[in-house]
Amino acid sequence: MLFFNHLRHFTIRFLLTSLLTIALVIGWSAIAHSQLPSLPTAASDDPRQPPDGVTRLGVYEIAMVLSPLDNKFLFEVVSPTVFNRDKPTEESLPVEVRVEEIRQRLRRLFHRAIKAKQTPIVSIATLNNRSILQLSDDQTSRPLKLVTLTEPDADYHGKTLEELAKEWQQILQVEVERIDQLFSRPVLLQRIGQSLQIAIGLLLGSFVLWFLRQALIRKQEALQTRHLESKAGSEDTTAAQFDAEISPTQILESSQTEAEAITHQRSQFLALLQQQFSLKRQLDIYSFLNWVLFWVFILLWYIGIAVIMSRVPFLMRWAIEATAAPLLLLVIWFFISLAIRIGKSLIDRLTHAWTTHPYLPLSETQRIALRAATVSGALKGLITFVFIMLGIVFSLSVFDVPTSSILAGGAVIGIAISLGSQSLIKDMVNGCLILVEDQFAVGDVIQIGDKSGLVENLNLRVTQLRDSEGKLITIPNSNITDASNLTRLWSRVDFSILVDYGNDPQQVINVLSQVSQQLYNEPQWRELMPNPPEVLGIDDLSHTGMLMRVWIQTTPMQQWIVGREFRLRVRQAFAANNIQIGRPQWITYNTDSTNIQIESSSPHRNFTGEID
């Protein structure tokens, strides 16, 4: 049942694609000349310039006469140069008008040659003392005038009128005989049979390509499944090995074991990235093969239809259009799609080189890996948009549409839109810079001005924070000038406390060092502290006491929980060692200058609650 569903979907897509290709090839001439006429350009608006298809050589203008059967070149006709086509003189007939008149008469020759039982004869005659070529057949009693030879024709070709008349007579006679032969019943049936054979070959080739594409799709799906299974197994193995290698016992035994465990975990992560990149390359190869099969399918049908049109006499007049303008359009989009694929492949390689830097910390490597996906996706979208716009511009030039005017109009519209949405553009530009420079990302805790919180959402226009009260704060990216990232790579507890001058400073430092080391030695807290705490000592002296400072480096977003635990232990240690905290003091002056009393703002209490 599944096979028949795939076959039905393929048949529908196949018929639609075939009809579209046939319409493109057969209807190209009508589309180009009737529905979408060439827009006027500077050259065509100037009456002093010759129109398309006309060549000016001094006093003569030359144009080609084509076969009514397949637009094959027959000969060139010449007329005196017309410098102002808005006001032509009675004696000078523009050469394009003369060519159009000859073309219409050759169309009548074509129909007469098809209907005639015997091959018509092209002969030379004289009309009003001028040499003409005429067609005589067995269906009409009056000859058909084809071409009138003029002195400019003979002068341009370097022959006499009689010699030129005989040459053109032979050319037209050969053309009449060719038309009569191609439309004879045996030849016509033979060519139609050959066209049917080509059509059957196209169908068989299309089904072969379809089966190849289905095989590639099945391989892609199997490869994707194996990758997901290996990725899950690799992650489980890495987690188990990491847990085993950095167990609490081993952490207490040796810091070297911890370093080896972290190095092993980082190696596992880089190996996982390498495996993903290898899979991506294989999937890209399969995708490229699918792309090649698609273009082989298009090329197969294009060549087949072009050959059929060149074989069937009724379709031969469109054969040149089928191998010219549509082919140019297909070539344009082939190279556009190829450029897009090459650009995406280069972005993937640069992304892989960016995310597998061997000297970056593991947390930074993971962060870059997450950010690289967003950046590469944006770059791929930009490349696709740019190349598609180039393809549209080149395609319009095939239709003789003045692309310079379209680009100028688009630039004016773009300027108007940019002026009307300056703030939006500023938001998007600043959002791109935040993303590319990795100032912060979703999950970071940042401070912007007087606002701080966890980044819940980040896009090109706004940044949304969730503060400690649960408020969702939305900040336009253009308003972000200074951003403080509190959780990038690592965080810090900046602990400071005032102690009384009556305490021994060295004792206070020893107690703080002891509390810090005890906290660092415990496995559950050491996992959150990459390095031992630093007791900096006395950081300030004031009337309230001595300011003691301790720095504790933590993993990202763990500074608050570590800080709370450290403050609790310092409070307990100060109480156990009878260390008094600082308090404000003032000096009271009496009338007796020899009696100066220093008092505190409150009774002197130690951590045990006793009043001194």
**pLDDT of res. 505:** 92
CA–CA gap between residue 305 and residue 402 (Å, rounded)? 30
Q: What is the pLDDT of residues 423-471, one digit of tens each?
A: 888 888 888 888 778 788 888 889 998 899 998 888 878 999 998 888 9
Q: What is the pLDDT of residues 376-391, one digit of tens each?
A: 777 888 899 899 989 9
Written as one letter, the residue type at 494 is D
Q: Domain-by-domain residue ranges, the chain?
A: 54-183, 437-485, 491-600
Q: What is the pLDDT of residues 570-604, one digit of tens each?
A: 999 999 999 999 888 766 666 555 554 544 444 44
Is residue 548 within 8 A of residue 563, CB to CB? The reply is no
CA–CA gap between residue 9 and residue 405 (Å, rounded)? 42
Q: Where are the alpha helices (DSSP H) in 399-472?
A: 403-420, 422-437
CA–CA gap between residue 55 and residue 217 (Å, rounded)? 54
Position 519 pLDDT exceeds 80:
yes
CA–CA gap between residue 561 and residue 364 (Å, rounded)? 22
Is residue 360 within 8 A of residue 438, CB to CB? The reply is no
- CATH number for the region 437-485 comes to 2.30.30.60
Strands in 144-148's sheet, in edge-to-edge order, are 121-127, 130-136, 144-148
* pLDDT confidence bin for 362, thresholds 50/70/90: low
The H or E element containing residue 159 is none
Written as one letter, the residue type at 275 is Q
CA–CA gap between residue 74 and residue 67 (Å, rounded)? 6
CA–CA gap between residue 265 and residue 84 (Å, rounded)? 83
**Per-residue tokens: 291:** 């792309």
Q: What is the mean pLDDT of residues 326-334?
A: 89
Architecture of domain 491-600: 2-Layer Sandwich (3.30)
Fold match, 437-485 / 491-600: no
Is residue 70 within 8 A of residue 317, CB to CB? The reply is yes
Which has the minimum average pLDDT: 1-5, 99-103, 148-152, 303-307?
1-5
**Per-residue tokens: 273:** 């990235």
**Per-residue tokens: 237:** 């193995």
